[in-house]
Each structure stands twice: as structure tokens, then as C-alpha cells.
Amino acid sequence: MRPGVAARLPAAEAVAIVLNEGASLDDALRVVLARVATELAPTVRSLSYGAIRGFFRHAKLLGELLSRPAGRLEPLVRALLSVALYELEDRRSPDYAVVDAAVEVARAGANARAAGLVNALLRRYLRERARLDAALARDPAARFASPAWLAARLRADWPEHASQVMAALDTQAPMWLRVDARRTTGEAYAASLREAGLGARAEPRVPYAVLLDAPCDVQALPGFAAGLASVQDLGAQCVAFALDLQPGQRVLDACAAPGGKTALIAERQSALHQILALDADAARLERVRDNLRRGQLAAQTLAADAGAPANWWDGAPFDRILVDAPCSALGVIRRHPDIRLRRSAADLEKMPRVQERLLRAGWSMLASGGRLVYSTCTFTHAENRGVLARFLSEVTDADPVPPASWPDRPDIGVADPYGWQILPGEAGADGFYYAALKKR
């Protein structure tokens, strides 16, 4: 099999695993890349991510081309068509080469009948591209590959921003770095990257954030192995503004894995009395330890359920608590486009119960005068302001800390009655929500 074709079959197989088994794309890629030549891995990864990112747009196109719903195609054929449509949209390869390769992959991975169908559909797409593109232009949800439930939620929660957010979610996320502000600055590190031949700029509103012109292998980053820089989205880095860390404080990171925010806490305030990084998943907690070791940072780690403090808490209150709650993760779809296939409207209804449990437990461990920061990587009102509104209606000793009063908070995002929403794509960031509550 020719090298270009050899990359397309595993890419389609990875997409089919997501469709068939509900696996994450990262997990699916781990399966298929185990049997792929190392030099083909970047192409396989790029094709599979592109196909998943455009999946719902491709479904619309296939619905126009087929006499039956695209969902009735066998998963591998459906996945292969998405890979090919992504390539045709991308326009980096000649159209004829994409079609020929897709047909060859269909013969190798499915059967001759499937190859004939793939050939007919793709050639018809090329003949009718102008008409099909016009149909997409009339349907923003399809154009930006948003499932109906996600488009409906955005229009309900963010009517003025819905199209902008859908467009942002249909793009590839940039690569942001967080530098260790104890040892360097964003400007200085960006200059060292440019000297190493990597295009980069510092983000002036977040002085320890650096944006790369293009993603690269972390081993190419100066000082990465020694913790001088870490990969972390700009939105995630903004947690420091909500926490307002001070020397001598006892800090709990209640849902710490994979450890980026724990490391940021340790970097931003080196004179804390204690940092306890907690996570219910012992395996994921090992990633927290790895990040701390690489950054030469001090924090205690504990595998435990933050929602059940009676099982592990020593009774000593915390001055700062970060509840980075499990959520629908819609704000990070650019990095994990399979979220659109693996989430549903029903999932969104379940999340607030989990989040409220963690919020109540965290509040019980907070010192008087202390601050709890509630955060998510999503933008739904139900998971953010809705959770806070219910919590504040139940307790009598909590006061929201207005985002306008947070020291040095960058002028991005949207404030609401309880917190601060960064929408996907704003300032190049993923979507994050932060709210700070002070205990009387």
C-alpha cells in the first residue's frame, strides 16, 4: 500500500472506533498507532482529528448526497468518507489523489462494493461542490460542524455569541505555554523561542503566557525538561487571577489532575504554607506528580474523593480552595473535537449534581475569610451560573467576589452576576469559567 494510502486506513479506523465504541479519539489513536510506522503517525493523527472535527458538517454533506441517512453506513466507510471530505476541504492534496486514495483504502479495509460507493459519492461531491457549499452557508450549525443539541444550547445561553463560538470550535486550538514566573518572563521566554527558530509572542495581559505560531514537540522547547515552560491553555492559566494567592496560605486543589493548575499555584506563590493536590483517580494523580517533579515544585498529593472529606480531611481549614469541577468540557472542543460525538443534551443535565456536591464539600473545608474558586472548562449556564445560584440560595455565609476586583485580571471574557466566562476563541483561549466566593 502506498505511504499516503497507508496513513488513511488507520486514520479511518481510529474515527470508526470513536463512532462504534464511543471511545475518545486519543484512546482510539493509541490503539491504531501501535501498529503504524512512526513516520506515518503525524499524518494519521492530523487526518483523524480533521475528520472528527468536521464530522457533523460531513454528515450534512453526505445527507445531501445519499438517498439514506449517513448513519446507516457501516462505521469504517462512514469514517473513511469523513477523512476524504476533510482532505477535500483542506485542499492540500489534489482532488483526484484524495479520491483515488479513498477508493484504494475502501478496497483494502472494506470491500469492492464499498469502494464503488466511496468513489461515486466523492466524485458527485466534487461535481456539486458549489451547491453543497451554498447549502452549508444557510445552516451555521452544519457549516461549523456543531451537533443540533450544542447549537441549540449556544443559542439559548449565548445568543449574541453563538455563531462566533461555533466558528471557534471548528478550528484547531493553538499551542499556549506557561512559563515559570519565578525564573523568567513571557517576553524573555518568547525571545528565547525565536532564537531557537520557533515563532512565538508573549501575551501582555497574562505576563507568564506565551503563544507559539505553530505547535511543536515539547522537547524542542528550551528548558522544558527542567520545568521552565509547560503546555497550558491561556484560559486555564487565568485561574491565578481568581485565587489571589497570598504567602502563608493553606491551599487545596480539589480536582487536581493532570496538574497544570496545581503547578501554576506553586509557581505563582512560592511562600504558601501548603498545597494539597487531590484527585479521585490515582492513575491520573501520577501525572500531577510528574508535572510537579519536572517543575521542581513542592505540593502534597492524595488520591481521594473531594466530595467526601470525612474520608480523608484532617479538619484543618484551607485558606484557598480550587474546585475545578468535572464538566461537559465543551470549552475545550478545539483540543478534543470528539467531545461533540461523545456528549449529548442528556449529559449536560447530569453534570450540575456532580458539581454541586463538590462545591458543598469544598465549602465545608474553607476557613472563615477564605476564598473558594469554582471553575469549569465549559460555557453552559446550567453548569456555571446555575450551579452557583443554587448554592448561594442554600448557604448564608458566602459572598461572590466580583471579577472586577480580582487583581490584574485581563480585560477579556464576560462577567456575570457570579463570575467570569472566557468564551472559546477569545484572545486565542479555550472556554473557561471562574467564580470566586468568600466565606464570612
The DSSP secondary-structure symbol of 252 reads E
Handedness of CA 61, 64, 65, 69 (dihedral sign): positive
Q: What is the largest CA-CA distance in the chain?
A: 71
CA 331 to CA 426: how far, in whole Å?
Answer: 11
The three-state secondary structure class of 363 is: helix
Cell reading at 80: 473513511
372 three-state secondary structure: strand
Backbone angles phi, psi at 272, to 5 degrees: -70, 150
Q: Which residues are known to be catalytic?
A: 377
Q: Which burial class, exposed, middle or buried, applies to 167 when counting CB atoms under 10 A from its CB (0-12, 13-18, 19+)?
A: middle
Q: Which helix (H) or strand (E) segment is 366 a member of?
A: strand 366-376
- Rounded-to-integer distance, Cα 291 and Cα 258, Å: 8
CA–CA gap between residue 87 and residue 186 (Å, rounded): 36
For residue 247, the number of C-alpha atoms closer than 13 Å in the C-beta half-sphere is 1
Q: Which residue has the cell 495581559?
A: 205
Reduced 3-state DSSP string for 86-139 = HHHHHCCCCHHHHHHHHHHHHHHHCCHHHHHHHHHHHHHHHHCHHHHHHHHHCC
The grid coordinates of residue 217 equal: 514537540
Rg (CA), the chain: 23
Q: How far is CA 357 from CA 8, 20, 351, 364, 390, in A?
A: 44, 33, 10, 11, 12
**Residues 218 and 231 sit within 8 Å (Cβ to Cβ):** yes
